[in-house]
Structure 1
């Protein structure tokens, strides 16, 4: 447990977890990428030269709401 507070129901002590990325050739975790989504020629997201951050996820044990935080650079 931690001191994070749910923004939906004000419960204190969210449960830490992570958002899994199970896509083809994925690293197993999702990342936040700075800037609006732009698609390349083949339809994938343009990512070159953009800052990336790890996503930390916390779930409220009372209402199930997820809180996501973009933390340290990856």
Structure 2
């Protein structure tokens, strides 16, 4: 992997924390455009959810995000 900002090759793995109320502690990617429900929250029912992999470039501090594949 390479950083898309500086072309560095030393990307440190990590994760994006979700500290919201009732959160699981990590963020997820949800398929499709954001649609807001009746009470203002995101409508997620029936949509595929995948974990997000995050990597930080040790050279320029840019963060790269990838959706984890279901391999």
TM range (shorter): over 0.9
C-alpha separation in 2, matches of 1:14 and 1:27: 25
Query: 4+ runs of 1 displaced by more than 6 Å?
Result: none
1:38 and 2:35 are equivalent in the alignment: yes
Which structure 1 residue ranges, 5 or more long, are not aligned? none
Q: RMSD value over aligned CA atoms?
A: 0.9
Using the TM superposition, give the Cα deviation of residue 41 of structure 1 relative to its aligned residue in structure 2, in angstroms.
0.3
Look up the SS of the partner of 1:53 in the other structure: strand
Which structure 2 residue ranges, 5 or more long, are not aligned? none
Using the TM superposition, give the Cα deviation of residue 34 of structure 1 relative to its aligned residue in structure 2, in angstroms.
0.4
> Match for residue 51 of structure 2?
54
Look up the SS of the partner of 1:72 in the other structure: coil
Query: If the length of structure 1 is used for normalisation, what is the TM-score?
Result: 0.91
